[in-house]
Structure 1
Amino acid sequence: MTALWVTVAAMTGAAIFVVLASLARHRAAGGPAEAADAAVYRDQLDEISRDQARGLIDEREAEGARTEVARRLIGASDREEAAAGPATRADRRRRLAAAAALVGVPLIALGGYGALGRPEMPDLPLAARLNANPERQRVVDLVSRVEAALANNPDDARGWTVVAPIYLRLGRAEDAADAYANIIRIEGSSPDREADLGEALYAAADGVVTAEARAAFERSVKSDKPSIKGALYLSRAAEQDGDPAAALGHLRPLFEKAAPDAPYLSALKGELERLADVPPLPMPTVTSSDERKTPEERMAMVRAMVDGLGDRLAGQGGDIGEWLRLVKARAALGDNDKAKATLAAAREKFAGDDRATARLEALGLGLGLEGRGA
């Protein structure tokens, strides 16, 4: 910011000096003493600009000094004219122009910057502009054009269909919800449209299934072809209500009916595992000697740790989180038979706990230990 002010002040001073010098050259020649004084003052104006550019004086000091020197320069010029003879009308006009340049140029410049300038704005260097994502710029331009068209034709369902998913991708969830609501208003309700509306409302609420979003999701599953997305979000709503059994009730039918190559099957399994909420397996501290072990030796260490957890749970018992952790660890190691046996033992142990039972079933389905592909 300091460099900017120095540059602006130097340019202003240079402009004033050019105007004054031009006006002075057109004056009638006066006596040698007056002419010498005027030349000295002109040099002083130039010196002030150089001092400011070098940072020896600040802008305020430079303007004050420049004003005083300019005043003396005008006085010397007046004496020079007086020595040469009475001032002509043209001379008086030149003096007025000099005064206007001296006072008006800085005032206009500073006033314009005060009204239009944005000193708080950060720099935008060339490198940053070159590195800006051109794809995002094109998307923003596209949205602006569609918005302009929709302003003139708000019943254009095609336009709302174009911008709604883009709004969501740009993080404009509330605008996306409005767009999906307009699509439903114009085109009518459908499972996919209601699910899209609920998803936008969910995003606008920072990941909370609000009553309005829940209503949209419920409408999306009440048809012969219910929305997969709507069912997934209804499961998440039940989970947020603290009811994992109800959450599982929304996911299980989808899992059972899904074709082996269904595109949403992987996401569904991930949602089931997330619903199980398995605590991470604590890993042992790695020492310098462990770093020298082969991958096979390290895997043997992990297996030993998992088997140790299994022996402890079988002998002393443990909470639901530890049983879920053991099931997932054994499945990750490829010991599916042991994982299924652990799952069965855990179900027997927590048979009277609906929440624990729902989490165990969700994990079994998500890992493929039971149900499809088991």
Structure 2
Amino acid sequence: MALWIVLALMTGAAALVAIAPLARRRAAADAGAGDGDVAVYRDQLDELGRDHARGLIGDRESEAARAEVARRLLAASAAQEAGAAQDSAAAVRRRRIAAAIALVVLPAVSLGVYGALGRPDVPDRPLAARLQAPVDRNNVADMVARVEAALEKNPDDGRGWSVVGPIYMRLGRYDDAAEAFAQAIRLLGPSGDREANLGEALVAKADGVVTDDARAALERAAASAPPSIKAAVYLARAAAQDGDRAGALNRLKPLYVQAPADSPYLEGLRDEFQRLAAPPALPMPSPEEAQVARTAEERMALVRGMVDRLGERLAADGGDVGEWLKLVRSRTALGDEAKAREALASARAKFAADPQAQTRLEALALGLGLEGRGA
């Protein structure tokens, strides 16, 4: 409602600004047109007086001329007064009509047209809500079609290829995305982001497998200045796929340690650490146990009891590294960081001679925030 009031006030102000100069110009024209003839006749009377004084004309000629000029002056004065009154009334009418049109008719017509063709019933769409809304694939498809048509006419438009590449990725058109990023690199030159985008598209095209072509693009991105975080993550995944967990950890750990505290990719690196550690799923109650524990407090107590029993069994019997990873993760999820660190220390002591286990335990500790930044 406040918006409508503001718009109405703005419309009225704009109309007044448009009308005021017209009214001033008309008043000035009316004043200037009537005074011209009267001034001329007055000058002629003065000139006759000066000529008579110098003896250039006689008394009789002077009186006759003065009488004629005076007659014309009186006629001009009377016409001026009548015309001014008539013009003043006409000007007032014109100004009133213009004001009515500007202040009433035009806004009314505009409002009527908007009511017929516009959509005043559509609610506001704040930017934050639009950014979080699902992608409208119809609109995206139209936009892609327009960009593709433009690229068909101008295939050397590197900016167009760089714009359409990420859209192809969102649509799952990974072949087209890889081609678009390759074209952007060819036309605009290599950069860390472009090479990383190409590598990511090639990985997606291969269903998550880091192929040789993808690895080459990612290596170039990782060697750029500044190095690409995305490339480092995918290269770490490639190392893990090859069974080199230590190499994957060495790729990610320096980025994590050296990153500024407000880096937007810190949370993503923690997720990668947990992916690298590959801990088993958290213990969950069975359907029968969940039915018994009806409240949230009862369910939490049930889960905590399961985790405690897991810890007691591992302390007594040992267990494999996966169970220890599950225990550390479960303790952290329950908020028992002190017990989580105790379990982590026990696991490291138990698997001191197993480099693979040590790597997984360190990756989980970094991913859970038990070590490294802020630990």
TM-score strictly above 0.5: yes
The residue correspondences of 1:1-374 to structure 2 (distance < 5 A) are: 135-287=136-288, 291=292, 293-374=294-375
Partner letter of residue 161 of structure 1?
A: S
Q: In the aligned structure 2, how far is the partner of 1:356 from the partner of 1:154?
A: 52
> What is the rounded CA distance, in whole Å, between the counterparts of 1:134 and 1:298 in structure 2?
37
The answer on whether the counterparts of 2:222 and 2:232 sit within 8 Å (CA) in structure 1 is yes
Shift in Å at residue 287 of structure 1? 3.4
1:171-200 Cα deviation digits (max 9, x unpaired): 111111111111111111111110000001
Q: Check whether the contact 1:277–1:359 (CA below 8 A) recurs between aligned residues.
A: yes
Cα distance in 2 for residues equivalent to 1:193 and 1:289:
50
Contact 1:197 1:216 in 2 (8 A): yes
Q: In structure 1, what is the Cα distance between the partners aligned to 2:290 and 2:187? A: 69
Cα displacement (A) at 1:215: 0.6
Give the Cα separation in 1 of the matches to 2:168 and 2:295: 50
Q: Distance in 2 between matches of 1:190 and 1:276?
A: 31
| Aligned partner of residue 225 in structure 2, secondary structure | coil
Q: Which moved more, 1:142-151 or 1:278-287?
A: 278-287
* Stretch of structure 1 that moved more, 258-267 or 295-304: 295-304
Report the Cα distance in structure 2 between the residues aligned to 1:319 and 1:302, rounded to whole angstroms. 21
1:310-342 per-position Cα deviation (integer Å, ceiling 9, x unaligned): 111111100010000000000111110110111
| 1:201-241 CA distance string (max 9 Å, x none) | 01111111000000111101113310000000001101111
**Aligned equivalents of 1:322, 1:161: Cα separation in 2:** 46
> Cα offset for 1:289?
8.8
Task: Tell me whether 220-229 or 322-331 shows the greater mean CA deviation.
Answer: 220-229
| Distance across 2 between alignment mates of 1:288 and 1:341 | 28
Does the CA contact (< 8 Å) of 2:328 and 2:340 recur in 1? yes
What is the CA-CA distance between 1:255 and the residue it aligns to?
A: 0.7
SS at match of 1:209: coil
Change over 3 Å in CA distance of 1:296–1:142 after alignment to 2? closer
Partners of 2:257 and 2:373 within 8 A in 1:
yes
The 1:316–1:185 alpha-carbon spacing in structure 2 relative to 1, beyond 3 Å, is same
The answer as to whether partners of 2:283 and 2:303 remain within 8 angstroms in 1 is: no
How many Å separate the matches in 1 of 2:368 and 2:289? 34
Determine the C-alpha separation between the residues in 2 that align with 1:289 and 1:204.
41
Letter in 1 for 2:248: A
Aligned equivalents of 2:293 and 2:229: distance in 1? 49
Taking the aligned partners of 2:209 and 2:216, their CA distance within structure 1 comes to: 13
Contact 1:290 1:298 in 2 (8 A): no
Cα distance in 1 for residues equivalent to 2:138 and 2:283: 45
In the alignment, what sits opposite 2:120? none
Superposed CA deviations along residues 28-75 of structure 1, whole A, max 9, x for unmatched, are xxxxxxxxxxxxxxxxxxxxxxxxxxxxxxxxxxxxxxxxxxxxxxxx
Larger radius of gyration: 2
Gapped regions of structure 2 (runs ≥ 5): 1-133
Match of 1:107 in 2: none
1:276 and 1:363 in contact (8 A); partners too: yes
Alpha-carbon spacing, 1:277–1:216, altered in 2? closer, same or farther (3 Å): same
In structure 1, distance between residues paired with 2:215 and 2:208: 12
So what's the TM-score if we normalise by structure 2?
0.62
The answer to whether the 8 A contact 2:282-2:329 is kept is no
Does the 8 Å contact 1:177/1:200 carry over to 2?
yes
- CA–CA distance in 2 between the matches of 1:350 and 1:289? 35
SS in 2 for 1:261: coil
Q: Provide the TM-score with structure 1 as the length reference.
A: 0.62
Contact 1:195/1:220 (<8 A) preserved: yes
Letter matched to residue 303 of structure 2: V
Q: Give the partner amino acid of 1:244.
A: R
- Structure 1 counterpart of 2:331, which letter? R
Kept after mapping to 2: 8 A contact 1:340/1:369: yes
The letter for the 1-side match of 2:316 is G
Q: Whole-Å Cα distance in 2 between the matches of residues 291 and 313 of structure 1?
A: 27
CA distance in 2 between counterparts of 1:305 and 1:232 reads: 34
Aligned length: 242
**Change beyond 3 A, Cα 1:148–1:293:** closer
CA distance in 2, matches of 1:195, 1:229: 6
